[in-house]
Amino acid sequence: MTCKNCSIKPVYSQISGVKLCRSCFIKYFEKKVIKTIKKYNLIQNNDKIAVAVSGGKDSLSLLYLLDKYAKKYKNQKLIAILIDEGIETYRPKTIEDAKKLAKELDIELKIYSFKDEFSKPLDKILKELKENACSVCGTFRRYLLNKYARKLDVTKLATGHNLDDEAQSILMNQFKGNIEVSARLGPITGIIKDKKFIPRIKPLYFMTEKETAIYSYLKGFTSKFIECPNSYDSYRDEVRNLLNSLEVKYPGIKYSIVNSFLVTLPLLKDHYSKSRKMEYCSKCNEPCSGTICKACRIIEKIKN
Amino acid sequence: MKIKAFIERENKTKEITLKENSKIIDLLKELKINQTSVFITKNNEIVIEDEKLEDKDEIKILSVISGG
């Protein structure tokens, strides 16, 4: 029971049964991320990239790898953006990890908060509104990431979404009949090109959550395990548990879901780009798919 | 044999009795923990699920989920 390349004790066993030691696993991980970037043409020479960091394992691994990629291959400019939602028992610790890595890599880290932007932290908003925590949080985070990425004049916004995240999103949209939302998924997101919408790239697209956690641990990016207190009762958590149970029974099921989805994605994008045009919110002028964007609708409820 | 395992997501240490020559995967099954949702360290080194266990091994079951 040794690494397939160097007869050292393995840290990771692939679905195929191939085992990898620490050093070979790190090489495998980095090579696969670079392959994703190249295959889907996620990064070009003149890109200025904002990396969305939360301070968790995915986004810190992403920040480190994009910095390595930029230095080695194309010398793109990087900036990190962190959205502080205001989750008292969770976010302060991850902010410290994000600050530490950004400093080590000499990358500017910009922090924007719900409190400054929407007058209240998420903890307080959730006490007042009977809304799903992940829905409010996700809407505001995407809103702020796009708004500030554009203000920082970047050409791409990179996020740490991994294979598990994508497989979960595909299934969640299927279960709820939100196929149009699925058309916005993929390694590079968006259906319609618009000057106000910054394209989002997902270089960790084919890495599983477990692979990213092991990589982050081996690289020492996160100091202590910490989990969002709102994730336990989320719909995503239910779908995550379902997928993990199926993955044990039928290894490779997450890859199959994502790979089959990618075959149909060009058709979905084509279909919805013909029937949709980008509109702008009548209140904030940010891009949206209706008259008033979802963020502004939540802001109205907070005010009332 | 008796194995003490720290479960990070629960922030708890549990003592589990297993048959001789048991592996990490047996421990996870006993604890009803899904192997895709965790990775394991034995005496502070990451190990795979096929790794054999011995008395006094220091096991940590670390969560791969962060959320956020």
Over residues A164-177, the pLDDT tens digits come to 999 999 999 999 99
- Chain A residue with CA closest to B67: the answer is A228
Residue B19 per-residue DSSP state: -
**Would you give the DSSP letter of residue B30?**
H
Contact A227 B63 (CB under 8 A): yes
pLDDT digit string, tens, across residues A256-294: 999 999 999 999 988 888 777 778 889 888 888 778 989
CB B57 within 8 A of CB B43: yes
CATH number at residue B56: 3.10.20.30
Does the pTM surpass 0.80? The reply is: yes
Interval B8-24: pLDDT, tens: 888 899 999 999 999 99
User: Shortest Cα distance from A100 to chain B (angstroms)?
Assistant: 18
Contact A248 B62 (CB under 8 A): no
Is position B28 within any domain? yes
The answer to whether the Cβ–Cβ distance between B64 and A56 falls below 8 Å is: no
Is B38 inside any structural domain?
A: yes
Q: Is residue B49 part of a domain?
A: yes
- Whether residue A216 contacts residue A262, with contact meaning beta carbons closer than 8 Å, is answered with no
State how many domains chain B has: 1
Each residue's pLDDT tens digit, A58-114: 999 999 999 999 988 767 799 999 999 888 877 888 899 999 999 999 999 999 999
Architecture of domain A22-277: 3-Layer(aba) Sandwich (3.40)
Q: By residue range, what is the domain housing residue B59?
A: 2-63
Q: Taking each helix axis from N to C terminus, what angle separates A163-176 and A253-275, rounded to the nearest 10 degrees? A: 60
Is B68 inside a domain boundary?
Answer: no
Domain ranges for chain A: 22-277
Write out chain A residues lying below 8 Å of B39, CB-based. 210, 213-214, 217
Minimum-distance CB partner of A231 among B37, B38, B67: B67
Residue among B36, B50, B63 whose CB faces A247 most closely: B36
The residues in B 17-46 lying below 8 A from A, measured between CB atoms, are 34-39, 45-46
Smallest CA–CA distance, residue B38 to chain A, in Å, is 7
Is residue B22 included in any domain, yes or no?
yes
Contact between A226 and B62 using a beta-carbon 8 Å cutoff: no
User: Would the CB atoms of B64 and A212 count as touching at under 8 Å?
Assistant: yes
- Per DSSP bridges, beta strands B45-47 and B38-42 are antiparallel
CA distance A37 to chain B (A): 23
ipTM for the whole complex: 0.95
Q: Is residue B48 part of a domain?
A: yes
